[in-house]
Structure 1
Amino acid sequence: MKLSQNQSAPLFNTLDIWQNTVSLQHQQGYKIYLAFMRNAGCPVCNLRVHELLQKADHFAKHNIKVWLVYESTQAKMKEYLSQQSYPFTFIADPENKLYHLYSVERSTGKVLKSIFNGILGKTMKGQKLYKEKISQDGHTNTIPADFLIDEKGRLQIVHYGTYIGDHLAIEQLH
């Protein structure tokens, strides 16, 4: 069942791709932008990460931590990030535990709908931003979802994508 605004965010403890503990219950005092991406080889997701990186100062100014969840393995995520330092937390979830916890959907219909919502242009832009070509290792029909969790652990904004590349506008994240 999809989550809704103002309910408590489902709590979880996991490790990021560098083996650091990521615990939602220990983040009070910060907002968390929790974004469920597809996989490291998804060029549309790569484009989104670059858009977020351009706004890193915005997140810092608004006391928002950015956590990005991928269906990729830890090894694939490290290949994608090329040992570079990023101001965000990257979580590998190839078993889809967090995806299920947050009711992230898979939909072939919504994948097809992506064609009418600029997927080809986003794909081309995202492919150009890779340092090296990365193969895809997740499900082909995962649809992104975004959540802004407030300082008290409540879902301030809930956004389930209606097609690949449908994310919250960065301006909504404050």
Structure 2
Amino acid sequence: MKVRIGQKINSFTVETINGEQQMVPDPSRKFTHLQFRRFAGCPICNYHLHTFTKSAEQLKAADIQEIILFHSSATEMRKFQHDIPFATVADPEKTLYKKFGVDKSLFATMHPKPLWAGIRGMVLGKVGLKVENGPLGLPADILINQEGIVVAFKYGTHAYDQWEVNELLKIA
């Protein structure tokens, strides 16, 4: 079921690929941003995360906790997301994807934006041949305040349809 603005999200804990526990939402942070990405070696997703990594200080200054989820195993994620300065979470069973209504589509990559982002991700060297849980996933962004209330969301219609850093900062 997709979230809606004003919906209360009961707190829960996720385990990062490094074995750390993260509370969602984090009551000590103004916002928690859940980023649902595709598979760990997705060049489109990895290019997108590269742009967020470059803006890590801005996100920290805005008091936004980033939680990045992939529907891949922690082992596969460590190959590609080991250097991301945010909490990265493996969800190979897609438990949280289902809980938050994150979809997939046969046409996920059939748009010029994902194709171009994929090329840029390949240039970064962030591409893998192992497509855990399929290539059809769509991205989603959910912004939750410290009380657990959904304040904004975006469900992607193609593989590169998500908030950019500036959009997120404006919303927050």
TM-score, normalised via structure 1 length: 0.88
Q: Which runs of 4+ in 1 moved over 3 A?
A: 131-134
- CA drift at 1:155: 0.8
Question: In structure 1, what is the equivalent of residue 94 of structure 2?
Answer: 96
Preserved contact between residue 41 and residue 126 of structure 2 (Cα < 8 Å): no
Structure 1: gaps (5+ residues):
none
**Cα distance in structure 2, aligned partners of 1:10 and 1:36:** 18
Residue type matched to 1:42 in 2?
C
Question: In structure 2, what is the equivalent of residue 17 of structure 1?
Answer: 17
Preserved contact between residue 117 and residue 163 of structure 1 (Cα < 8 Å): no
Preserved contact between residue 121 and residue 127 of structure 2 (Cα < 8 Å): no
Preserved contact between residue 10 and residue 101 of structure 1 (Cα < 8 Å): no
The reply on whether 1:29 has 2:24 as its aligned counterpart is: no
The 5 Å alignment of 1:74-113 reads: 74-81=74-81, 83-84=82-83, 86-108=84-106, 110-111=107-108
**Cα distance in structure 2, aligned partners of 1:131 and 1:39:** 12
Structure 2: gaps (5+ residues):
none
- CA drift at 1:115: 2.5
Q: 1:133 to 1:141 in 2, by over 3 A?
A: closer
| Aligned counterpart in structure 1 of residue 161 of structure 2, from 148, 158, 166 | 166
Q: Over aligned residue pairs, what C-alpha RMSD do you find? A: 1.7
- CA drift at 1:106: 1.4
**Cα distance in structure 2, aligned partners of 1:14 and 1:70:** 12
Residue type matched to 1:89 in 2?
A
Query: For this pair of structures, how many residues does the alignment match?
Result: 168
The 5 Å alignment of 1:15-164 reads: 15-24=15-24, 27-30=26-29, 31-81=31-81, 83-84=82-83, 86-108=84-106, 110-111=107-108, 114-130=109-125, 133=128, 135-164=130-159
Q: Which deviations, in whole Å up to 9, do the C-alpha atoms of 1:84-113 show, x marking residues without a partner?
A: 4x32000000000111111101121x42xx
- CA drift at 1:4: 0.7
Residue type matched to 1:103 in 2?
G
